[in-house]
Structure 1
Amino acid sequence: MRHLIRRIGFYLVALWASVTLNFLIPHLSPGNPAQALMARFRGRLSPQAQHALEISLGVNHDALWSQYLQYINNLLHGNLGVSITYLPTPVSEVIAQDLPWTLVLVGVSLVISFVIGTVLGIIVVWRRNSFSDVVWTPLFTFLSAIPYFWLALALLYVLGSQLNWFPIHGGYDTDNTTPGWNPDFILSAAQYAILPALTIVIGSISGWMLGMRNAMITTLSEDYVLMAEAKGLKPWRVMFTYAARNAILPNITAFALSLGFVVSGSLLTEIVFSYPGIGFAILQAVDNLDYALLQGIFLVITLAVLVANFLADLIYVLLDPRVRVGRR
């Protein structure tokens, strides 16, 4: 229990530090959202009109500590400001609109690639120098060197443009479907997500497989694995209960970190396929100097990463008895 309390305290301090940096970076940068909006539309406003615009965008010229307290108060009330990219839509609504697309696409793709890659890593090591090891290891080593956007462009050209198997851009059929919990929209969204998801899965499997393979090679030489084999246990039990259970720990940590960054989306993939999501929203915010939207997105990403790391700590305790004994 004391260890759990310490970890919670650590993550609370990390959250406070992240929130503080998230506040300081835009506020110490030159300019403000009102000036960025004026530059965007090349407009000239009177001082009174500019002051009114600053008030509507939440800009004030109080002391920095006063602005910081106001920022914390706004966060506690769920007020993330107004997005100048999607003016006058609040940042919270923009994130709430784009986040589900990213969570479904990147989250499902991450889980699929993690499961397939981990299982393949176990298989190729357990049957070292077999056909599966000789073929799969070099193949996925090659795939790991291919940049995401190249793979996305190749799949887009072959499967989308030439074969016309899948749609090549967007998140759903805007002409024939209405967003909502209806079969037509769900099927359309699933069809549009196949190519981006395939890009993420193919590009990610290699990392999980090679990581699991390297960890398994080290684990198989441990004394407890050799003892299990000497006791005459069934090979599948030795492989999963003794070897894989311990070798998977580094992958679990990497998976937790990746799970935290799911909310940030896959920027290049979303850009190539014009897929509506957080990654595409980040690009729009950068292009338009939308600091409020960037702050809101980075805050959500920070929360997701901290929660994912905390869950990884809990999973470590459950999977590794040595951790439980060492932390009593």
Structure 2
Amino acid sequence: MRFFLRRAAFYLFTAWAAITINFFLPRMMKGDPVSAYLQKNQGTISPEAIESLRTLFGVDTDASLLRQYIDYWGLMFAGDLGRSFSKGLAPVADVIAVALPWTIGLVGIATIIGFFVGTSLGTIIGWRRGSRADALVPIATFFSTVPYFWMGLIAIALLSSTLGWFPASHAYSKGARPGLTLEFVADVIEHGALPALTIVLASLGGWILGMRNMMITVLDEDYVTVAQAKGLSPRRVMVSYAARNAVLPQLSSFALSLGFIVGGTLVMELVFSYPGLGKLLLDATTAKDYPLIQGLFLVITLAVLAANILADVAYAALDPRTRQTEA
């Protein structure tokens, strides 16, 4: 219990610091969202409407910075992240809610598949070190070193334009009506297969290499030798003794990769013209849409914190020594 309380206190403080920085950072930048909005709508807004906009965007010059900070927390707890002027003054939470499922659905699933496939292959390659299975390591590492945009373009040219196996872009066919129907779901899966494949190939080398190296290190430990001396089956020794301890460092990397799912997909979404948070962040930055940028940074920060919390819980469950040391 002491372990979980200490970790909870740490993450609460981290969340407070991140949200506070997220509040002050846009206010330290040159200009403000109202000025950027007025540049796009010159001569169409009255002075009274300008003051209303300043209140709406949380940059009311009549209110103190402390008052704005308190109001910011109150609005955030109410689910109000402001208004996006580049999206017709639509609520920021609604704009993010539209793009978030596409990013999580594609990149999240691809990242999980890459982790489990890479970790499983790394376990087998490390267990059978010195065998022909080692040839997979340089092959997978090569795909990891290729720039992602180049790999995406090659995949489009080969698998889409030449062979016609997958659509080249977008999340679903033009003219399709979104809905929970088998036809639409199949269309989404077909369009997401190619970018998901490139994500898995790009990440596979790191997972394989990391797990293989940890397996080689763990196999020299005394508890593995004792388990083999007891006559346990090779499969049980590999999974329950070697892999269980070797996978621990992988969990930290996996947590970080999960956290950056919501913000680290910009290149993929540009190459495949895929809707998501990465493309939305680029559009918001180009339009100087500070409320939307602020909301996206908040979502990315909370996603990273949530992923690290899950990693800590999994780490403590797999390795009791962690709980004892923290306690």
Q: Same fold (TM over 0.5)?
A: yes
What percent identity do the matched residue pairs reach? 49
Secondary structure of residue in 2 paired with 1:218? helix
For the residues of structure 2 that align with 1:95 and 1:41, how far apart are their CA atoms? 24
* 1:116 alignment partner in structure 2: 117
Of 251-260 and 105-114, deviating more is 251-260
Q: 2:168 aligned with 1:168, yes or no?
A: yes
Q: 2:189 aligned with 1:190, yes or no?
A: yes
Q: Is the 8 A contact 1:317 1:324 kept in 2?
A: yes
For the residues of structure 2 that align with 1:296 and 1:199, how far apart are their CA atoms? 28
For the residues of structure 2 that align with 1:231 and 1:93, how far apart are their CA atoms? 59
Q: 2:303 aligned with 1:304, yes or no?
A: yes
For the residues of structure 1 that align with 2:320 and 2:48, how far apart are their CA atoms? 66
* 1:159 alignment partner in structure 2: 159
Shift of 1:192: 0.9
Q: Is the 8 A contact 1:265 1:277 kept in 2?
A: no
CA, structure 1 residues 125+300, in 2 after alignment: closer, same or farther (shift >3 Å)?
same
CA, structure 1 residues 193+155, in 2 after alignment: closer, same or farther (shift >3 Å)?
same
Of 109-118 and 145-154, deviating more is 145-154
For the residues of structure 2 that align with 1:277 and 1:122, how far apart are their CA atoms? 33
CA, structure 1 residues 43+142, in 2 after alignment: closer, same or farther (shift >3 Å)?
farther
* 1:148 alignment partner in structure 2: 148
The letter for the 2-side match of 1:213 is: R
Shift of 1:264: 2.0
The root-mean-square deviation of aligned C-alpha atoms, in Å, is 1.6
* 1:92 alignment partner in structure 2: 93
1:25-36 equivalences under 5 Å are 25-36=25-36
CA, structure 1 residues 205+43, in 2 after alignment: closer, same or farther (shift >3 Å)?
farther
Q: TM-score if structure 1 supplies the norm length?
A: 0.95
* 1:219 alignment partner in structure 2: 218
Q: Is the 8 A contact 2:3 2:326 kept in 1?
A: yes
For the residues of structure 2 that align with 1:52 and 1:63, how far apart are their CA atoms? 16
For the residues of structure 2 that align with 1:43 and 1:139, how far apart are their CA atoms? 60
The letter for the 1-side match of 2:288 is: L
Gapped runs of 5+ residues in structure 1? none
Q: 2:275 aligned with 1:276, yes or no?
A: yes
Q: Is the 8 A contact 2:140 2:201 kept in 1?
A: no
The letter for the 2-side match of 1:142 is: F
For the residues of structure 1 that align with 2:42 and 2:194, how far apart are their CA atoms? 39
Shift of 1:297: 1.1
How many pairs were matched up? 326
For the residues of structure 1 that align with 2:207 and 2:290, how far apart are their CA atoms? 35
Of 56-65 and 88-97, deviating more is 56-65
Q: Describe the superposition over 1:232-284 as per-residue Cα deviations: whole angstroms up to 9, x where unpaired.
A: 22111111111100000000111112112222251100111110111111111
Secondary structure of residue in 1 paired with 2:231? coil
Shift of 1:130: 1.3
For the residues of structure 2 that align with 1:52 and 1:326, how far apart are their CA atoms? 54
For the residues of structure 2 that align with 1:55 and 1:316, how far apart are their CA atoms? 45
Shift of 1:124: 1.1
* 2:325 alignment partner in structure 1: 326
The letter for the 2-side match of 1:27 is: R
For the residues of structure 2 that align with 1:266 and 1:250, how far apart are their CA atoms? 24
Q: Is the 8 A contact 1:196 1:273 kept in 2?
A: yes
Q: Is the 8 A contact 1:270 1:279 kept in 2?
A: yes
Secondary structure of residue in 2 paired with 1:224? helix
For the residues of structure 2 that align with 1:42 and 1:216, how far apart are their CA atoms? 64
Of 231-240 and 241-250, deviating more is 231-240
Of 40-49 and 17-26, deviating more is 40-49
Q: TM-score if structure 2 supplies the norm length?
A: 0.95
Shift of 1:169: 1.4
Q: Is the 8 A contact 1:215 1:248 kept in 2?
A: yes
